[in-house]
């Protein structure tokens, strides 16, 4: 649907060095990467703000590399809203429709419909500066959606918001995506966004895409050291959570993991490798999760080594070399894995 | 306790002396300017202000400054935008050249303009094709424009530099051309700064003397703007007319300063 081939662009100290991406119709696509990776330039080049130095962008099979932004049908939402401060919320949302010289009644209806979907119609006469961050971001999303864009670009849309507002708006983005079926490209550095929203994820580093895949693929099989260190949660599993006595018990394959998060239904579970304790014998402790497994792989690198233990599902654990020697670990040995319920990060899948 | 008192008294001596210097300066300025207003008798002052010569000067000053300010803003908006948003080879050199008239004595700018429009090749060619820009009303406008356009550019730049270019980016994804994004988004956002720049440029244009004197000359009832009227009347000993023209200039300065304070928030006048 949207095909980006060999895209290059240098802008000051930022650059895109041959970006290749293919985004499917109706897909929620997330781009993850550190500051300075060139994520915003990529979005702005897709939107047509910058003309690329090389490469092509094709939308629905037609080349739009040199098309003026106003003819691309690509909507843009920035981290800090960029609502026009001299216009009311209603005028902001209707801005794009007014450029098309549509009759005022139709504009008002469309604006109303979009604003109501985002729950901001009652704010229509206010000016942006009088709104909270969450309300402003809703208005910015409404402004982009009112035109019915073919692709919606979101540049860290949740990063400037407080935790509660962020979670609410994240759920709403998911609802909007399901309702409108708009193709969305979303830049973030929160891994929660990935699990809650993404159909597929691309990891971007130094102006290139280093890995593309489903959230599970990215987290379970990071292809480069960078992806692994950036995502940090190598033990990521899909599961189903049941609430019991206020705590959640998550079934992951053949095992059940306890967590403190009170969520139910389909979830993603993440456990950092350094949170998992490896022992030769089971032991009594305050940590509630203990599983028996077999060492399948030992990777010696640097001060920390990573060992993979199959306990029904594969766990990655980080140990020092001394610990591996002391425990006399080798491939094929039986070990016990222990971690606290609070070390289990769960988010809705 | 005693030491604390000492410290306190020393620090209040510090602030008291700085405040005192400030107070003396304010009083000095008030007396100098107020004294000028109060010096002539009110009857004579009124007669001078309504004299044909001063009325002519007021009218000429208003017309020329309005035209030159309009020219300043028409040129300054695109230039200021280009200087904030675009990078091009020779930008810093262009910046220095554009700001040169700011630090140049207006008299020197006047001499340069006089040579350019007078005996130089370009001046001769212009005159040959019927365009004469020396010693007439057009000369006043040109001189005011030349000296003041850098101010207008500076203030407009300050106003447009704080506008995030992403407002325009968003507008363009919403169906605006570059022109219409500029007109519908950037220009309204810069409006306050532009009004501030407009007022200060207008006020400086009215007060421009050196460059106007050189390029337009000081011909009574012809190129006699308010500052030229002050100069001509002082040189002929007509003190009342000179003071009348000065008081009108003080009034204009005061009004424009108040308007600037209203709209200029944060914009620095150099």
Same domain, A95 and A137: yes
Range of the domain at A271: 235-348
Average pLDDT along chain A? 89
pLDDT score recorded for residue A51: 93
Q: How many independent structural domains does chain A possess? A: 2
Counted across chains A and B, CB pairs separated by less than 8 A come out at 57
Pair (A171, A194) in one structural domain:
yes
Q: Are residues A42 and A122 in the same domain?
A: yes
* A155 beta partners: A187
Domain boundary among A211, A231, A251: A231
State the nearest Cα–Cα gap between B183 and chain A, in angstroms: 13
Choose the closest CB to B173 out of A76, A85, A86.
Answer: A76
Q: Are residues A157 and A215 in the same domain?
A: yes
Q: A130: which 2 tokens?
A: 């009088």
On whether both A256 and A299 belong to a single domain, the answer is: yes
| CATH code of the domain in which A316 resides | 2.40.50.100
Contacts of A12 in chain B (CB under 8 A): none
- State the pLDDT confidence band at A231, using cuts at 50, 70 and 90: low
Q: Among the listed ranges A20-29, A171-180, A252-261, B115-124, which one has the minimum average pLDDT value?
A: A252-261
Residue in B164, B170, B175 closest to A100 by CB: B175
Q: Of the residues A181, A210, A231, which one is the last residue of a structural domain?
A: A231
pLDDT band at residue A196 under the 50/70/90 scheme: confident
Which residues make beta-bridge pairs with A252? A255
Q: Are residues A106 and A27 in the same domain?
A: yes
Sheet containing A334-339: which strands, arranged edge to edge?
A: A277-279, A334-339, A289-300, A304-310, A314-320
Nearest chain B CA: its distance from A57 CA (Å) = 16
Residues of chain B with pLDDT under 50: 1, 266-270
DSSP β-bridge partners for residue A152: A75, A184
- One domain for residues A168 and A274: no
Whether residues B173 and A47 touch (CB distance < 8 A) is answered with yes
Is ipTM > 0.90 here? no
pLDDT at position A228: 63
Ranges A16-25, A84-93, A134-143, A202-211: which has the least confidence: A202-211
Q: Which of B166, B173, B176 sits opposite A74 (nearest CB)?
A: B173
Same domain, A186 and A246: no
Q: In the structure, how many helices (H) and strands (E) does chain B have? A: 13, 0
Q: Are residues A266 and A162 in the same domain?
A: no
Contacts of A190 (CB under 8 A, 6+ apart): A158, A159, A166
Q: Quick check: A10 pLDDT over 50?
A: yes
> Which of B173, B185, B194 to mutate to test binding with chain A, by most A CBs within 10 Å of its CB?
B173
Residues of A with CB under 8 A from a CB of B: 44, 47-49, 68-70, 72, 74-76, 78, 82, 84-86, 95-96, 99-100, 143-144, 147
Mean pLDDT computed over A16-21: 93
- Boundary residue ending a domain (A231, A259, A280): A231
Within 8 A of A72 by CB-CB distance, chain B residues are 173
Residues of B with CB under 8 A from a CB of A: 164, 166-167, 169-177, 180, 185, 188-189, 191
What is the domain-level CATH number for residue A184? 3.40.50.300
Cβ neighbours around A275 below 10 Å, total = 19
pLDDT at A182: 94
* Residues in chain B within 8 Å Cβ distance of A84: 167, 171, 185, 189
**Residue B270: predicted pLDDT:** 37
Mutate to test the interface with A, among B87, B167, B168, B174 (most CBs of A within 10 A): B174
Q: Are A31 and A10 spatial neighbours (Cβ–Cβ below 8 Å)? A: no
Considering the domain architecture, whether residues A141 and A184 belong to the same structural domain is answered as yes
Asked whether residue A306 falls in the same domain as residue A192, the answer is no
Nearest to A78 among B166, B172, B175 (CB): B166
A157/chain B closest Cα distance in angstroms: 14
Q: How far is B43 from B78, CA to CA, in rounded Å?
A: 49
Distance from CA of B10 to the nearest CA of A (A): 46
Answer yes or no: do A76 and B176 touch at CB < 8 A. Answer: no
Residues A64 and A177 in one domain: yes
Facing residue for B175 by CB, picked from A44, A85, A99:
A99
Phi-psi region of A12 (alpha: psi -120 to 50; beta: other; left: phi over 0): left
Residue among A68, A75, A57, A59 nearest A20 (CA): A57
Q: What is the pLDDT of residue A227?
A: 67
| Contact residues, chain A, for B171 at CB < 8 Å | 84, 95
């Amino acid at each position: 649907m949207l095909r980006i081939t060999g895209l290059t662009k240098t802008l000051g100290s930022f650059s895109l060095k041959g970006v290749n991406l293919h985004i499917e119709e109706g897909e929620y696509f997330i781009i993850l990467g550190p500051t300075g990776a060139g994520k915003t330039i990529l979005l702005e080049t897709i939107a047509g703000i910058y003309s690329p130095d090389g490469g092509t962008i094709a939308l629905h099979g037609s080349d739009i590399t040199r098309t003026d932004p106003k003819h691309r049908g690509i909507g843009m939402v920035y981290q800090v809203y960029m609502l026009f401060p001299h216009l009311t919320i209603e005028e902001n949302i209707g801005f794009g429709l007014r450029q098309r010289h549509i009759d005022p009644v139709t504009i008002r209806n469309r604006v109303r419909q979009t604003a109501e979907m985002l729950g901001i119609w009652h704010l229509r006469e206010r000016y942006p500066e009088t709104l909270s961050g969450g309300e402003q971001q809703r208005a910015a999303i409404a402004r982009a959606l009112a035109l019915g864009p073919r692709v919606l670009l979101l540049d860290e849309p949740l990063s400037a918001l407080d935790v509660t507002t962020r979670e609410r708006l994240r759920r709403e983005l998911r609802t909007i995506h399901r309702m409108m079926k708009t193709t969305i490209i979303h830049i973030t550095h929160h891994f929660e966004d990935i699990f809650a929203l993404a159909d597929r994820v691309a990891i971007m580093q130094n102006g290139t895409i280093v890995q593309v895949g489903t959230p599970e693929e990215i987290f379970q099989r990071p292809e480069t050291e960078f992806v692994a260190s950036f995502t940090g949660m190598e033990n990521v599993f899909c599961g189903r959570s049941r609430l019991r006595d206020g705590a959640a018990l998550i079934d992951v394959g053949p095992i059940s993991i306890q967590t403190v998060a009170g969520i139910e239904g389909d979830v993603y579970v993440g456990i950092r490798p350094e949170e998992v304790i490896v022992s030769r014998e089971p032991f009594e402790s305050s940590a509630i999760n203990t599983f028996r497994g077999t060492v399948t792989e030992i990777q010696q690198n640097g001060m920390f080594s990573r060992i993979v233990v199959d306990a029904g599902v594969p766990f990655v654990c980080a140990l020092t070399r001394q610990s591996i020697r002391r425990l006399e670990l080798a491939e094929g040995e039986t070990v016990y894995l222990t971690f606290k319920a609070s070390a289990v990060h769960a988010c809705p899948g | 306790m005693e030491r604390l008192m000492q410290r306190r008294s020393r620090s209040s001596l510090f602030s008291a002396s700085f405040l005192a210097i400030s107070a003396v300066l304010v009083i000095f300025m008030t007396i100098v300017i107020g004294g000028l207003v109060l010096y002539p008798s009110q009857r004579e002052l009124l007669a001078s202000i309504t004299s044909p010569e001063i009325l002519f000067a007021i009218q000429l000053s208003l017309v020329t400054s309005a035209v030159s300010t309009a020219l300043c803003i028409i040129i300054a908006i695109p230039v200021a935008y280009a200087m904030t948003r675009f990078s091009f080879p020779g930008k810093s050199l262009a910046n220095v050249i554009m700001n040169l008239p700011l630090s140049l004595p207006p008299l020197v700018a006047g001499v340069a303009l006089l040579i350019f429009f007078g005996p130089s090749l370009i001046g001769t060619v212009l005159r040959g094709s019927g365009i004469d820009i020396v010693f007439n009303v057009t000369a006043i406008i040109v001189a005011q424009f030349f000296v003041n356009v850098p101010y207008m550019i500076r203030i407009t730049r300050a106003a447009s530099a704080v506008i995030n270019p992403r407002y325009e980016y968003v507008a363009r994804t919403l169906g605006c051309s570059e022109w219409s994004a500029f007109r519908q988004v950037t220009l309204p956002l810069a409006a306050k700064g532009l009004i501030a720049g407009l007022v200060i440029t207008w006020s400086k244009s009215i007060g421009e003397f050196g460059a106007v004197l050189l390029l337009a000359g000081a011909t009574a009832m012809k190129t006699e703007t308010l500052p030229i009227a002050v100069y001509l009347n002082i040189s002929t000993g007509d003190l009342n007319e000179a003071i009348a023209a000065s008081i009108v200039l003080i009034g204009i300065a005061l009004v424009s300063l108040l308007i600037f304070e209203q709209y200029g928030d944060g914009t620095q006048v150099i």
